[in-house]
Each structure stands twice: as C-alpha cells, then as structure tokens.
Structure 1
Amino acid sequence: MRQRLRAPIVLPCDTACSVLRDAVVDIEEDGRIGYVGPFASAPGEATVTELAGILLPGLVNAHAHTPMTVLRGMGGDLPLLRWLQDVIWPAEAKLTSDDMYAGMVLGSVEMLRAGVTTSLEMYFNLDRLAEAVLATGARAVLTGGVIEAPGFTWRKLVDHVSSMIDTRGLRFGPGDRIEIGYGPHSAYTLTPEVLVEVAEAARARDALMHIHVAEAALEDAAQREAHGSVPRLLESLGFFGGRVVAAHSIHLSDEDIAIFAANGVGVAHCPGSNAKLASGIARIRDLREAGVNVALGTDGPASNDDLDLWEDIRLAAMLARLSTLDASALVAPDVLLMATRGGAAVLGRTDIGALETGRWADVVHVSTDAPAFSSGVDVPDVQLLSNLVWAAGARQVQDVWVAGDQVVSDGETTMVDRAEAQAAAGEVTKRLLAAG
C-alpha cells in the first residue's frame, strides 16, 4: 500500500513556488510520487503518516567534492590557487580509495541531515563513492575527476568513467540513486585536446560534464590571453552540446553569459566557497535574466567548510542583493527553487527536484517547532516562505526520504551510524596530519 505523508504545509516547488495547505505527498511502492495535493482530494487507500510542519523536495547540491570532509580545515586561510597547489592537491595524492569512501560516507550523512538528497560530485574512485552513497541511502551524480597532476593521469581517469558507464549503465542502484558522468577539472589544468576527448566520450554516452569555469580571476590568465575567455575557448572546441554544468562561473563577461545561454550550459553557484576563498561574486541576476539555469552548490567541505546548502541559499540571496544594491535581486522563492527544481534542471534531470507525480519521492520534513515559526504556519504564503528561507535552515530538518525510503528520522540517519562515520573520517584526517 502507498505511503501518504500529510502535513499542514506542502511546498511542491513548482514554477510558481506554490504553498499547499493541509496537503499530502503519496509515495508509491516503486518509490515514486503518486499524488501531491490537498488531503481532501487524495485518491484511494494509503498508510497515513501525520507530520507537523512543512514537506518540500530534497535539496540538490549542484557542485561538491564531498570526500574532502577528511581535508576540512586544511589551508583554511589561503586563496584558491595556493590552497589547491600547496595544500589540497598534495594531500589528495595521499588518499586511498578507503579514505575517499570514509569521507564520502561522512559527507553524505552531513548532507542528508541538512535535507540535501542529491549532490553533483567531482572526485575519484567512483566505485567506492557509489558504495558510500548507496550505504547512506542518498542520491548522487558522480562525475569522475579528470586532471593531470602528481598521482593522476587524465587518460586513465577518463577511461575509468567510460568503462563504468559502459558496464553498469548511466544510472543504477535502487531508485536510480547513482548517475555517472565526467568531471574535467578545468581549462587551466587540461589541454584543449583533452577537453575535446572528454566531451566526445560524454556525448557518446549522454553523460553529464561538470567543469570549473572562471572561479578565480588569475587562474585562467593564459587561456583568456589566448582565447578571450574560457567560455569562448570551450565553445570553439565544441565542448558544449550535451549536458554541461559550469561550477562557480564568477568572472564572466556579457559575451560569456550569452555563450552559456546559447549552449544551454547550467551554472552551479557556490556563494559560500566563493566568499571564503575571496574568489568574487557571480553575476547571478544577469545569468538568470539571460536565460541561464542557475543552481546552488556548497563546493567541497574543505573550501566552504560545510555541506549545509541552506547557508548557500541565504548567501546567494544576500550577495546578489549586495552586489546589485537591489533587495529584490533574489527573493525567498527564487533561491528555494534554485536549490530544488533549479538544481534538477541544471543536472538535466526531470525525475528529482520537485514534488510532482512520477518523480522520485525525495522528500524533506522541516519542523516548525522553532522560533523561526513562532507565529505558526497560518501566515501569508510570502511570510511563510521568508521564514523558511531566512530564519529556519538545516537545524529544522527532521525527516528525509529518498526514493520513498526514510533515510533520516528525527534528525539522525537511519542506514549508517553517524558516530561511526565521524570516527572513520577522523582517523583519515589524523593520519594525513601526522604524515605532514
């Protein structure tokens, strides 16, 4: 029999950001949503779970390097390029597949407890990362990092991703929890010839590509000198054309934004990481007005330094308002949709990101027993959404379902033990610190 989750408020995250009152979300036996709407109109028999508070779709973290939980805090006061070259890349070269598994489990636990059900990852050892995600019950799009650096050879990295898709399929696991894609790091770490090969491999498999673009002003000076900009370089190479997510995308010209719009490139905006590393403020209002899909990401837990997408929801709105001196540049419904429906759109997915019939039942229950909701939920819709976005946050996430399976109950993960996950990741960090 179907599950029926009933709550005073359901936010389906449709394009209008509707607020449904005394409504339900029906979860069918296959883990998909069967009905969303008023309780009075709910069809058929169901096992009803009464919940106090708000139901909304699972959040989508559109750019992360989650296994880096084991590197959290290292080089925390350095700018991007020094942080990468002097601290992070040498440390990553020492990580084993078991280390990455431990980091992914802990990060997955952290995200689920914050209501993040899907993350777009760029990292290595995708087999182990998939095991980790399946162990926690989360959902992830795992793009294999492609880079030429000490300990890494781009050819082997590309071949591993291609082989994994060819043998296991583009998506697999219960509820299609795992999707595989390509993660060419950037145009400043890979040659044009490599970028072309990656793009050809991805398009041949309808796989998503996930790349850093224009994150720091100085990172791609040589590429800008030769080609005008990284978006111009990528367009000239024929890199676009499939599903492409450009992470950060801070230092863009009007022409660059037009290139993204013309080629259907999605942007993963990471305001927390961008602020911490002093990388800059992305032109989010301009991107959105040009028709570019924009989602939100945390970036890695060593550069943010957490995986709480609610913080980035607020920061995205604040920085957009501050940079434009316009308090209406991004409003509460805008950023809530960027973290849900917009995240799915950037990933090219129509099966997640909203509470709609046929999509996977990735559902978050937010408790309203908090100062943020001192006036209850019987307030105007605009005030309810404002309270959720500006005053509530991850601490109010109480329960989470992924493909209909409850993976968080009363604030704690149900499929893995949080204390054990923390201890395992902590041992990795201690070993790295001891090694110097």
Structure 2
Amino acid sequence: MTVVVHSAPLLVPIARPPIRDGAVAARDGRVLAIGTRRETLAAHPGAEEARWPGVVVAGLVNAHTHLQFTRMAKVGARVYGTFEEWSDTFDEAHAALEGEDWAASAREGALLALRHGTTAVGDVVTDLDALPVPREAGLAGVSYLEILGDNDREWAQAGRRRLTSTLNRLAAGDVPRGDGPWTARVGIAPHAPYTLDTAVLADLADLMRAYGLRGHIHLQESVHEREFTVSGTGPLAALVRRIGLDFEILRAGGTGQGPADFLDGLGLLGPHCHVAHGVHLDAAERALLRARGVGVALCPRSNRTLGIDGPPVAALLEEGGVVAVGTDSLASSPSLDLLEDVRLLHALAREQGYRAADLARRLVEAATIGGARALGLDAGPGRIGSLDIGARCDLAVFDVDPGGRDPYRTLIEDGPGRCVATVTGGVHAGRLANITSGGNTWALASRRH
C-alpha cells in the first residue's frame, strides 16, 4: 500500500508540540510516522507527498451537531429572545417540512462540516434515513439515535419495541452501520430531561448498558430547565403541556432535584455519555459530571442564537474534566465552522476571567482530542482527535501564516473560514479531488470506502 506523506510549514499534531516544517506519513488510513518533513521523507523513500500550505492540524471533532437539519438554516439565521421562542419556531418549521429528504439534508451538512476541517462528528439523528450519512461521507464519530416525546405509557406500548427493533437490525447489519475503526458508530440520545418521561429515561440508560452503546443528552441549555426538574413549573413545563406531553414530573410537581442530579439518579450519567451545552451548570453539577467522567460539548454560537448566555467555559477549563466543542445544527447556528465556536469560546473565557497563557492551546485541544474523548474515540485502533502513530489519519489544512506567533492562537484568530483541505482516513495515491463550493476550490482527501 502506498505511503502518503502530508507536509506543511507547520504541523499541529495535538499529540505532541507543534513541528515546524512537519510531516505525517500515512498508510492504509493510519498514521505511520510523524516528525519533520526531512526525516519523514527520508524514512519513506518513494512515498507520495501531499505538500500543503499554512498549518496542518489534527482533524476537528464536532461533538454536537444535527446534520439532518442543514436545510433548516432559515431558523438559525436570526437571534431569538428565549429558548422557548426558538423552540416554537423550530417546531413550526419542522412540521412544514413533512416528507423532507433528511438524508440529502444530512449529506449537505456533512459536506459543509468537511469544508470547515471537521473529520468526526457526534451527530444526533432523528430520522433513520440520515443515520449512515457521516460514514458515507468519510466522517468518523458516533451517530446518536434521538429519542424524544415519549411518555411512560407510550414507551411501554410501542416506543421501546421500536428502538430495540432498530438496534437489533443495526447489530444484524440490516441497516447501514459502521462499527469498525474507520466508520461512524451508533449511540442513543435521550433528547433532554424535559422531553421524555421519567421511566423512559431510566429505561434508555438500561438499554445503553445492555447494548454497549454511548449516550448523549442535552443538559442545562435553557435557564428554565432547573425549574422544570425541581418543581415541574416554569416556561418549559408550560411548553411541554402545550404540546400535549403528559409526564410524571409534571403530575408530581417536580423531583426536588436539579437536572444533572435527576439524570444521575436514573443512571444516565457515566463515562459512556457526554452532554451538550451545559450553559447553566453550577459548581456542584460540574463536579458531578467530572466525578462521573461525563464530557461537555460547548456550542456557544447556538446559545447566542437562542438568546442564551454563554457556557461557563473558564470554570470548566480551570476545574478539569472533558471539554469538547460543537456547532449544533444550522437550525440554531450560522454555520458548521467549528473554529468559529472556538473563537467565541476564547473570548468568553477571557471575559469570565481565565488568565492562564494556555487558553488557546486548551481550546484547540477541546475541538480535537477533547471531542474524541467525549465520543469515547481517543484510544485504541483508529483513534481520532490527534495525530500519533496508529491513529486514524485525519487532518485539516488552514491557509494561515503563524509567523512567530503561537500556532494555537493563530488557528483561533485566523483559522475560521480558511480551511483549504480536509483529509479523512489518510489518502491513497491519486485520491486527491478538488471540490468547488461557493466559488472556492477546496481539496478533499479521503480514504476509498
């Protein structure tokens, strides 16, 4: 198998410090060697070289998105006053798209993600047709089957059977599923504490364990989520009642617990799971997530669209734990450019008082290895999120010149909108293809599937 050497004036492998005039050698989609361009080429005579401009960084990991909602970009193109206002707008727009080709919409989203240097996703899938799209596009990661709207009675009557039937079909290969190191895996996404009944949430935790699947859930996105779980009141409770969902938590007048404690008591939190948003997590809840090994995917531009405060990024970084980055979908964000969210997180962290000199590096790590850790894909064969020997060879090329500046800060300040090539799973000889999008020519290098 042909060895391909990807080289650039600056290589940011994440697994080790940046390398000037660096290179990474790949064979059969995996990293074979890494070092300076000179030593790497000398060690692999006859290798094909792909010489890239600017900065090459390990492929970005978008730890929370909904690719199938790409065609709902009009919903995400404005700013809302409240989460509930956005939710009503989304529901109305979604209902008007009955019969939409969600797989085609997801394919458009996958191309946009690749266009911005993303090579792996935590993709939340509402319609099964969209499930295989990331794998088909060459994206690694986990595709999470989203569950929402079931009360305990409906779940017992039909909902559980539908999900287990789908999971069994996936396990049998009747529905496209990737379970190898090069393809997207499948997980379960209970939508949120306010969109599923209590016994349903507990049963989904059991099913994750029974099937050995990862979980992903929206947590503390709305400021009213705590009021909902503690007392069964507030705007979210009104929204749930308005759409006709009859949940135990409303009948009982709440649980007396905040959202994180509520989910933890049902067995949903653990190292197999990561959460999205976490905007209103308090110190005790952040400590609980760290203790359970639960990562948090921050989506600050989506929060801004929904009229929500920024997440506590400074505290999350200072306290430790797994921090990842997501764009959410185009239904709540202006683009799928993950570095735009990283740039906003950088500004938010400074506003929140983060003063350590390592901020830029840690945020680039959050968008790469942090996302891999949140998805459980940072170890073993085909691991993602960094360029080290044996890892999947995913990388993104940004046409920026760091000069003598910090390369991580250069990526954050100048990188958004400047991705010129994306490589997923290495590249075979002759597999470089140019794609024209928006008047710009962009190179996609991908392993043959």
TM-score range, shorter chain: 0.7 to 0.9
Change (3 A) 1:379 1:352: same
User: Of 90, 93, 107, which aligns to 1:91?
Assistant: 93
CA displacement 1:240-299 (0-9 Å, x = unmatched): 234111100111122111110110011000111112212222222222333320100111
Following superposition, the deviation at residue 237 of structure 1 comes to: 1.5
Give the match for residue 215 of structure 1: 221
Specify every segment of 5 or more residues in structure 2 that has no aligned partner in the other structure, as ranges. Answer: 232-254, 436-440
Superposed, which structure 2 residues align to 1:333-372 within 5 Å?
333-350=361-378, 351-368=383-400
Pairwise mapping of residues 136-285 of structure 1 onto structure 2 (< 5 A)?
136-148=137-149, 154-155=159-160, 158-159=163-164, 161-168=166-173, 172=178, 176-225=182-231, 226-285=255-314
Residues matched between the structures, number = 400
Match of residue 23 from structure 1: 22
Distance 1:108 1:413, change over 3 A: farther
Q: Is the 8 A contact 1:73 1:305 kept in 2?
A: no
2:289 counterpart letter in structure 1: F
2:44 maps to which residue? 44
1:220 offset after TM fit, Å? 4.3
Q: SS in structure 2 opposite 1:224? A: helix
Q: Which amino acid aligns with 1:386?
A: R
Kindly indicate whether the alpha-carbon contact (under 8 Å) linking 2:34 and 2:389 is maintained by their aligned counterparts in 1.
yes
Do the aligned residues in 2 keep the contact of 1:101 with 1:132 (CA within 8 Å)?
A: yes
| TM-score normalized with structure 1 length | 0.84
Residue by residue over 1:359-413, the C-alpha shift from the partner in whole angstroms, topping out at 9 and shown as x without a partner, is: 1111112223xxxx3xxx4425x2x33222112323x211111111467647436
3-state SS, counterpart of residue 317 of structure 1: helix
Contact 2:423–2:445 under 8 Å retained in 1: no
Q: CA deviation at 1:71?
A: 1.1
SS of 1:200's equivalent? helix
- Opposite residue 143 of structure 1, the aligned amino acid is Y
Q: What pairs with 1:415-434 in structure 2 (closer than 5 Å)?
A: none
**Structure-1 residue corresponding to 2:235:** none
1:4 touches 1:24 (CA, 8 Å); kept in 2? yes
- Compute the displacement of 1:120 (Å): 0.7
CA contact (8 A) 1:216 1:280 kept: no
* Structure 1 portions without partners, runs of 5+: 417-436
Mapped to 1, the partners of 2:61 and 2:224 lie a distance apart of 29
- Which residue in 1 is equivalent to 2:320? 291
Give secondary structure in 1 for the equivalent of 2:33: strand
In structure 2, do the counterparts of structure 1 residues 171 and 99 end up closer, same or farther at CA, with 3 Å as the change threshold? Answer: closer
CA contact (8 A) 2:423 2:444 kept: no
Match of 2:84 among 63, 81, 87: 81
Correspondent of 1:379 among 399, 404, 420? 404
AA matched with 1:81: E
Sequence identity (%) = 28
Is this contact kept in 2: 1:10–1:55, CA < 8 A? yes
Paired residue secondary structure (1:340)? helix
Any residues of structure 2 matched to 1:49-68 within 5 Å, and which?
49-68=50-69
